[in-house]
């Protein structure tokens, strides 16, 4: 979250620091220190979120630990319906000689945003496992 903002904040920080530090080297040092502090803060936030995720995953309550798998299954079913279910349904309806009704459509962009976010997190988890960082 904060990491994505740093490239946009850095030029603004540079302009502000130039006013306080006429020496370019001191301004650059101050900017590096601020960017380092922002990255450290972001790392701490990420570690805190990881701890929350661990507690949620360890819960026996389906309401606490089950929401991530639920979202995954919903995305998987929606993706399967869109790319497999709809074409197969249309084919068999047309093959039977019936008029093909207009099937409901959904916003693929929203689905792909959620799905890619989840797959990205899953990909990072796989990377961690491959590197032996986690079990």
Give tens-digit pLDDT for 98-108.
Answer: 988 887 777 88
For the chain, state the CA radius of gyration: 24
Give the 3-state secondary structure of 63-91: HHHCHHHHHHHHHHHHHHHHHHHHHHHHH
Instruction: Give domain limits for the chain.
Output: 1-60, 66-135
User: pLDDT for 35-46, tens place per residue?
Assistant: 788 778 777 877
pTM of the model: 0.47
């Amino acid at each position: 979250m904060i990491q994505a903002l740093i490239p946009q904040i850095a030029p603004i920080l540079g302009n502000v620091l130039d006013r306080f530090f006429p020496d370019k080297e001191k301004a650059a040092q101050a900017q590096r220190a601020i960017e380092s502090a922002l990255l450290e803060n972001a790392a701490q936030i990420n570690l805190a979120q990881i701890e929350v995720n661990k507690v949620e995953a360890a819960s026996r309550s389906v309401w606490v630990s089950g929401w991530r798998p639920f979202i995954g299954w919903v995305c998987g079913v929606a993706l399967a319906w869109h790319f497999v279910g709809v074409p197969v349904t249309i084919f068999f309806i047309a093959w039977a000689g019936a008029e093909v009704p207009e099937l409901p459509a959904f916003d693929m962009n929203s689905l792909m945003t959620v799905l890619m976010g989840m797959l990205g997190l899953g990909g990072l988890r796989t990377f961690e496992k491959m590197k032996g960082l986690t079990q």
